[in-house]
């Protein structure tokens, strides 16, 4: 019908949550905070949306760490990789969702994985098929999760230093570790609070809310990947992080 229609409301108001499609009938809303401009209590909870009933339900298992504006991606049936998030976290974890009608096994204890190389919040994550170690395009035989954009801030005397990120960490889902071979080049411009859409053969990043690249779109295509650069262009600003919180 080409129009928006209302559906069931979340059980908990959330800002900065990440919503991931688990299959054709279920969504997961991960973390977030209840009032981004107020006391901002960060949520450890995950809610599951059922498209058949049009209802959200709170899942019994919590995230190991409460998170908002984290990166999240579904890399296998019922398995979510949740990365970073505010307040400037580098930790990552695998969160398992039990969907009875999907024939998934009983829920097992969530798994913590190695930390990100850098703390980051305001990032996004996506699943891509990339070359495994030692191989090059057009071979794409390894399912990986890439983490795109984000920022971190470090408290130092009299100033809060904010650094927007251009490096793109890559998690190898088969080896269960972060790759070190820089298979994905850095973004041409650091970004935070980005939006990401994965299309056939490439990813599109619309503009972020601030920074010199706010009016541009970055694209990752097969021919772009072999060009590797250092991530020295990560942008730093001296700014109060309270003014940079992501809007609902």
Higher model confidence: residue 98 or residue 27?
A: 27
Identify whether the C-beta of residue 205 lies closer than 8 Å to the C-beta of residue 190.
no
> What was the pLDDT predicted at 128?
92
- CB within 8 A of 150, min separation 6: which ones? 71, 84, 120, 121, 122, 123, 124, 164, 165, 191, 192, 194
pLDDT at 50 over 70: yes
The pair phi, psi for residue 215, each rounded to 5°, is -105, 10
The predicted structure's pLDDT at residue 236? 53
> pLDDT, tens digit, for every residue of 62-85?
999 999 999 999 988 889 999 999
* Distances in whole angstroms, Cα of residue 88 to Cα of each of 24, 45, 122, 225: 32, 19, 9, 28
> What mean pLDDT do residues 35-46 have?
78
Query: What order do you get walking across the sheet with 151-156 strand by strand?
Result: 151-156, 159-164, 235-238
Confidence grade of residue 242 (pLDDT, cut at 50, 70, 90): very low
CA atoms within 13 A on the CB side of 125: 30
What's the half-sphere exposure (Cβ side, CA atoms, 13 Å) at 5? 5
Q: What is the pLDDT of residues 149-192, one digit of tens each?
A: 999 877 666 666 888 999 999 999 999 999 999 899 999 999 88
d(CA 122, CA 212): 17
pLDDT at 1: 76
Burial call 37-50: b when 16+ CB within 10 Å, e when fewer: eeebebbebbbbbe
Report residue 136's pLDDT band, with 50, 70 and 90 as the boundaries: confident
Indicate the average pLDDT of the chain.
80
């Amino acid at each position: 019908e080409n129009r928006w229609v209302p559906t069931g409301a979340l059980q908990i108001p959330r800002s900065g949550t990440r919503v991931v499609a688990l299959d054709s009938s279920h969504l997961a809303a991960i973390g977030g905070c209840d009032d981004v401009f107020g006391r901002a209590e960060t949520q450890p909870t995950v809610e599951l949306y059922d498209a058949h009933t049009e209802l959200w339900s709170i899942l019994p298992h919590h995230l190991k760490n409460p998170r908002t504006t984290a990166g999240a991606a579904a890399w296998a049936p019922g398995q979510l990789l949740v990365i970073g998030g505010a307040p400037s976290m580098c930790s990552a974890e695998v969160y398992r969702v039990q969907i009875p009608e999907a024939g998934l096994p009983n829920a097992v204890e969530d798994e913590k994985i190695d930390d990100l190389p850098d703390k980051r919040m305001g990032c996004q994550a996506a699943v891509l098929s990339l070359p495994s170690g030692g191989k090059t395009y057009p071979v794409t035989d390894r399912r990986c999760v890439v983490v795109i954009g984000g920022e971190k801030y470090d408290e130092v005397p009299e100033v809060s230093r904010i650094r927007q990120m251009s490096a793109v960490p890559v998690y190898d889902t088969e080896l269960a570790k972060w790759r070190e071979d820089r298979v994905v080049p850095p973004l041409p411009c650091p970004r935070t609070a980005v939006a990401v859409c994965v299309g056939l053969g490439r990813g599109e990043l619309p503009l972020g809310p601030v920074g010199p690249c706010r009016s541009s779109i970055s694209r990752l295509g097969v021919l772009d990947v072999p060009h590797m650069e250092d991530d020295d262009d990560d942008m730093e600003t001296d700014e109060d992080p309270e003014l940079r919180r992501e809007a609902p």
